[in-house]
Amino acid sequence: MGDPPPDPEPPSQPTSSSRNSQVSERRRSRERTRPLVPEELQQIPLDPQILRGSQEVLSNQSNLRGWPQRASLTPNENLVFQAEDPYVNPGFSAEVQPQAYLSEGRLQASHNASLMLPQLQQGEGNLFQQLESAYQGSPADLPGQFTMYQREDLPFSQGTQHGPYMRDDPTLQFSPSELGFMSFNMELPEPEPRELAVQNAKAYLLQTSVNSDLSLYEHLANLLTKILNQRPEDPLFLLESLNRTTQWEWFHPKLDTLRDDPEMQPTYEMAERQKALFGRSSSGEGEQEMEEETAETAVPNIMEKAFYFEQAGVGLSSDESFRVFMALKQLVEQQPIHTCRFWGKILGLSRSYLVAEVEFREGEEEAEEEEVEEMTEGGEGMEAHGEEEGDEDEDKATDVIPKPTWKPPPVIPKEDSRTGTNRYLYFVCNEPGRPWMRLPHVTPIQIVQARKIRKFFTGYLDAPVISYPPFPGNEANYLRAQIARISAATHISPLGFYQFGEEEGDEEEEGGAGRDSYEENPDFEGIPVLELVDSMANWVHHTQHILPQGRCTWVNPLQKTEEEEELGEEEEKADEGVEEVEQEVGPPLLTPLSEDAGNLRTSTSAGVTSTVLRTSTHPCQPPFSTSTPAARTL
């Protein structure tokens, strides 16, 4: 036990004035001691003497009105001083209240822990009276009531002397609700049951209501503050209406009738964000000009492309294109990017996505990939182990439940980075100015499922995709899968613009997978526009076709890896010879569009954009493809 406070006196005798002097004395005394939790506990045994007197009063109480509970608890009074500050925000008083409440709880805990709850409720009524009595105390303590941040274990050290300087104390930066649990657990070896009960009670009160952000705690604090400020004649009688008024005021902040409150409009915030875009770019440009004249930046010339698309009647407005250009520049600065291309914009219900197709420099992205793979492999190891244990248990049981012979289809591994569907990395952002977020690589099962469902995008990457058949992943995965499908279907170029390199091996050696890389043809001369429009044979796909399996290169799902062979040796023999999966083959790279499947209504067609003939074509310009109208690839 620590030093007892120098003035333990029975509460029943002193008058209010002397009581208050006692209180202030006690406070000062407690300030000298270290503000630790044990001190509070020590105070509990001390207080029972005082409290026992008040306990009787409490238990005898049937009518709580108008009782200026002189027999109130000194701890409560201390706290109450701070509670009734008229300038304290509801938020602050909420933080002050816990302390009053805590000690209230302690009071009853010392009495009988099992009767906690009903007594707590009674204690709420007590608070009214105690507040009143305390308020009649020295109003000179007003400065001491600017206790914005109070720790629960320092109720007695908030003294009058410290006043407004308490705010600067770094140890008091935490609000009680944050430290409420931590402080007790750190400094006490074992949280006592009453502490726990108190914490639970407080947590319950701090729950925010379903309909609003208001918690019962805060509401009570507001209500009590209001009552104390207004000091109505018969507060209990007016309690109902005061309750309503307080609730109403919470949601209708008082507006100044003389001055307009400038609203923080979302348009201002957006403008701020986009201003940052412009600022950075201008400083970046200055540096570049100094260093090199022709710097090869990965950022494409969006404005030029936007001009050509505009001629075709497609595209974003010029200022939005410019913002996109700025945002891509920002992306290139932030990430180690080798090539970058504006893939397009996908519209969503709440927000849209701007998509950038990006290739990293060699070796840059492997670090991130490894982390993800480790996690998935760890998961698979666990599952295999679980199967073994299951087998053993079943042998021992007398009634053997027949094992289902259905096995889930083998998981088809996703393609490596920089190959097939994962050839490019995609970054998305909602608006130019917002941070770019990287989309994960796509897995074959995601592509297969994405083919079956149609869902709008909401604009939030972590939104769940609720559909039937169920999609494995959230909106980020769904977006990535659709981007992969769109890219594979609609990226085309005029015949002859790209050609295969000469170093490719025979097609037979590669197992019929076909070539998967191409290079620009330096000898390409433009094809006349009329020919391009007339026949679809003049356009070719330059992205790999996605097989029904969900990959670009076929993988036999029955090929077991080494790990699986060790575990499932017995089962393998039964399966062999039953399932043989056919190799899936798709059209090779650079096939013309005239070979596309589908009837006339769903294939690609081209139209001349204007009556003025153009003599040259721009190779990056895909014509209007009707098979995927949901997005426009730029």
Partner 1 sequence: MDAESLLLALELASGSGQGLSPDRRASLLTSLMLVKRDYRFDRVLFWGRILGLVADYYIAQGVSEDQLAPRKTLYSLNCMEWSLLPPATKEMETQTSVVKGRFMGDPSHEYEHTELQKVNEGEKVFEEEVVVQIKEETRLVSVIDQIDKAVAVIPRGALFKTPFGPINVNRTFEGLSLSEAKKLSSYFHFREPVELKNKTLLEKAELDPSLDFMDSLEHDIPKGCSDFPEVHPSGSILEDNGQCSGNFSG
Binding site for partner 1 (CB under 8 A): 263, 265-267, 270-271, 274, 310-317, 320, 344-345, 347-352, 431, 456, 459, 600-601, 605, 607, 609-611, 626, 629, 632
Strand partners, 358: 340, 425
Residue 148 CB, shortest distance to partner 1, in Å, is 31
Q: How many CA atoms lie within 13 A of 457 on its CB side?
A: 25
Least Cβ distance, residue 459 to partner 1 (angstroms): 7
In this complex, which beta carbon is closest to partner 1, that of residue 232 or of residue 348? Answer: 348
3-state secondary structure of 443: coil
Tokens (6 digits) for 173? 């930066």
Please count the CA atoms within 13 angstroms of the CA of 262 that sit on its side-chain side.
Answer: 3
The angle that helices 216-230 and 90-111 make with each other, rounded to 10 degrees, is 100
The least distance separating partner 1 from the CB of residue 345, rounded to whole angstroms, comes to 6
Q: How far apart are CA 46 and CA 4, in angstroms?
A: 8
Judged by DSSP in three states, 493 sits in strand
Largest pairwise CA distance in the chain: 108
Closest separation in Å from C-beta 240 to partner 1: 26
CB of 328 to partner 1, least distance (A): 17
Shortest approach of partner 1 to residue 254 CB, angstroms?
18
Q: Output the smallest distance, CB 620 to partner 1, in A.
A: 17
Q: Give the three-class secondary structure for 172.
A: helix
Q: Say if strands 498-499 and 437-438 run parallel, antiparallel, or are unpaired.
A: unpaired
* Residue 131 Cα to chain centre, angstroms: 41
- Is 9 or 431 the residue whose CB approaches partner 1 more closely? 431
Name which of 31 and 320 has its Cβ closer to partner 1. 320
The residue among 256 and 319 lying less far from partner 1, judged by its C-beta, is 319
Using DSSP's 3-state secondary structure scheme, residue 313 falls into: coil
Min CB(344)–partner 1 separation in Å: 8
Cβ 407 to partner 1 shortest distance, Å:
39
Which lies closer to partner 1 via its Cβ, residue 120 or residue 354? 354
Asked if residue 320 lies in contact with residue 344, where contact means CB atoms within 8 angstroms, the answer is no
Q: Which has the closest alpha carbon to 352: 496, 461, 272, 448?
A: 461
Q: Which is nearer to partner 1, 317 or 583 (CB)?
A: 317
Do 59 and 35 touch, CB atoms closer than 8 A? Answer: no
Gap between the Cα atoms of 534 and 607, Å rounded: 8
How far is residue 354's CA from residue 345's CA, in Å, rounded to a whole number?
Answer: 5
Tell me the torsion sign for CA atoms 329, 334, 340, 346. negative
Of the pair 192, 310, the CB lying nearest partner 1 is at 310
The bridge status of strand 539-541 relative to strand 425-429 is unpaired
Positive/negative CA dihedral, 133, 138, 140, 141: negative
Tokens of 101: 């409440």
CB nearer to partner 1: give 165 or 268: 268
Which CB sits closer to partner 1, 216 or 437?
437
User: Shortest gap between Cβ of 323 and partner 1 (angstroms)?
Assistant: 9
What is the closest distance, in whole angstroms, from the C-beta atom of residue 349 to partner 1 in the complex?
Answer: 5
d(CA 554, CA 24): 83
Decide if 122 contacts 61 (C-beta within 8 A): yes
**Of 136 and 602, which has the nearer Cβ to partner 1?**
602
Q: What's the Cα-to-Cα distance from 29 to each of 107, 156, 413, 467, rounded to whole Å?
A: 21, 9, 71, 66
Residue 58 or 316 with smaller CB distance to partner 1:
316
Amino acid at the residue 241: S
Query: Whole-number minimum distance, CB 625 to partner 1, in Å?
Result: 11
Shortest distance (Å) from residue 525 CB to partner 1: 26
Q: How far apart are CA 131 and CA 98, in angstroms?
A: 14
Nearer to partner 1 by C-beta: 182 or 349?
349
SS3 283: helix
Question: How many angstroms separate the CA atoms of 122 and 142, rounded?
Answer: 28
Q: Can you name the residues that pair with 520 across neighbouring β-strands?
A: 498
Taking the C-alpha atoms of residue 359 and residue 69, their distance in angstroms, rounded to an integer, is 75
Residue number, 345 or 441, with CB nearest to partner 1: 345
